[in-house]
Amino acid sequence: MTENQLIPNLFRSEYSKIIAVLCKKFGLSNIQIAEDIVSDTFLKASETWGLKGVPNNPTAWLYKVAKNKTIDYFRHENTFINKVLPEIKNKYTNVSIVKIDLSEHNIKDSQLQMLFAVCNPIISIKNQITFALRVLCGFGIDEISNALLTNNTAINKRLTRTKKKLRTEKINLKFPNNKELEVRLDNVLTILYLLFNEGYYSSTSNKSVKKELSIEAMRLLHMLLNYKPTSVPKANALMALFCFQSSRFDARIDTNGKSILFKNQDRKKWNYELIEKGEFYLNLSSKGIKTSKYHLEAAIAFWHSRIETNENEKWNHILQLYNRLIQISYSPIIALNRTYALSKVKGKKIALTEALKINLKDNHLYHTLIADLYNKIDKEKQINHLKKALKLADTKNDKLVIINKLKALNN
């Protein structure tokens, strides 16, 4: 690792840890103070290390400076309170009591609590994701706006609003009790699922940004899996899904950032270690009684990864899984994917009849599917639907795929 990568990398890994520990100690409402302390610490690092060289143990150095800065801050706060507002009782009357515990154990605990505090349904989903990227993943503002395809002003607004909401709603870092845990965990899993998809389906052509989002989602999920009360079958199923999908990351996008369709992917670029991990987590997830949508999606992803399996058998399994999935969780994409699987099992004609009933006429993927089903059956209708799809498609990538299909037809 080059020296100019060191600080950004440390920022990524240590920012969230120190913030979590500070917030656990001083309350989530003081998160701004925590952020300032950590930012100052890194600023000091970049100044000092530039002059004196990188210390032998950079992390320990950062922790030491962060601790000192925290004590400094409260000493000043103490002064302010002692001199200006002597009537108000201060919890920390003795500054030396301020002990910051940056042990591995406390870091883990604090980060878990922070994860639940960030993924709180009181905050809008968009803001939960933005906040998570900042506070849990240590992303810079630039990086976040890049990843979420917006600008710095918008991101800063979201963060300010979120912190304000945390204060007004008095959200704290207390870990949810047994009664609330299941519902709150569901919400956390939803956020991680969305975060992963931001990376997996994101329309930004920046391949490394996409990967990072998905990797972060997996890292945070891993935290949950390492803690017994949250290592439930559903969470394992979600990890299985993440593993299967990310195994194809390198094969899905070419060097120019364009998507490669599944059937055209170079299988040698699949990450088989991740596929094995996926199977491991899929097995773990089967130890429960309830089947969640993550179980079904993971199972579908599993079958897609099994290239040696007979096509008929594979698609039969996939169709049955989609049948169940669409009953518990409807979405246009699932409906269209199910129809595609139907065409593989029962042929294009039957699938076409069902597909036309779906009638998602404002969805470009719907028209692409219909066009595919009309292939070699009715060229005029096929072209018609591809043209409709082109009008509705909104990203360059998607438009390109459709244009290529139209080109192939004209030859």
Partner 1 sequence: MKEFMMIFRNDVDQPKPSPEQMQAMVQKWQDWIGGIAAQGKFVATNALGFQGKTINSNNTVTDGPYAEVKEIVGGYLICKAINIDDAIALANGCPVLTLGGKVEVRDVMVFNK
Burial class (CB in 10 A: 0-12, 13-18, 19+), 93: exposed
Does 358 sit near partner 1 (CB under 8 A)?
yes
Which 3 state secondary structure label does DSSP give 253? Answer: strand
Q: Nearest approach, Cβ of 389 to partner 1 (angstroms)?
A: 19
303 binds partner 1 (CB under 8 A): no
| Between 319 and 390, CB nearer to partner 1 | 319
Cβ neighbours, 10 Å, residue 208: 6
Cα dihedral sign, 165-170-175-181:
negative
Site for partner 1 contains 312 (CB under 8 A):
no
Least spacing, CB of residue 293 vs partner 1, in Å: 13
Q: Using the minimum distance from each CB to partner 1, give the nearer residue, 209 or 358.
A: 358
Torsion of CA 355, 357, 360, 366, to 10 degrees: 10
207 makes contact with partner 1 (CB under 8 A): no
The nearest distance, CB 330 to partner 1, in angstroms, is 6
How far apart are CB 244 and partner 1 at their closest, in Å? 22
Q: Which H or E element spans position 6?
A: helix 3-26
Burial class (CB within 10 angstroms; exposed 0-12, middle 13-18, buried 19+) of 397: middle
Binding span for partner 1 by CB under 8 A among 52-60, 127-135, 319-327, 373-381: 319-327
- Residue partners of 5: CB distance under 8 A and separation at least 6: none
Name the one range near partner 1 by CB under 8 A: 127-135, 277-285, 354-362, 370-378.
354-362
Residue 344 contacts partner 1 per CB under 8 A: no
Residue 17 interacts with partner 1 (CB under 8 A): yes or no: no
Cβ neighbours, 10 Å, residue 305? 21
How big is the site for partner 1, counted in residues (CB under 8 A)? Answer: 16
Least distance in Å: CB of 317 to partner 1?
11
Find the binder of partner 1 among 139, 322, 366, 374 (CB under 8 A): 322
Are the C-beta atoms of residues 242 and 285 closer than 8 Å to each other? no
- Pair 59, 10: CB distance under 8 Å: yes
CB 247 within 8 A of CB 272: yes
Per-residue interface string for the shown chain with partner 1, residues 255-294, x marking contact by CB under 8 A: ----------------------------------------
Q: Of 323, 347, 379, 400, which lies in the binding site for partner 1, with binding defined by CB under 8 A?
A: 323
Positions that interact with partner 1 (CB under 8 A) = 319-320, 322-324, 326-327, 330, 335, 338-339, 342, 354, 357-359
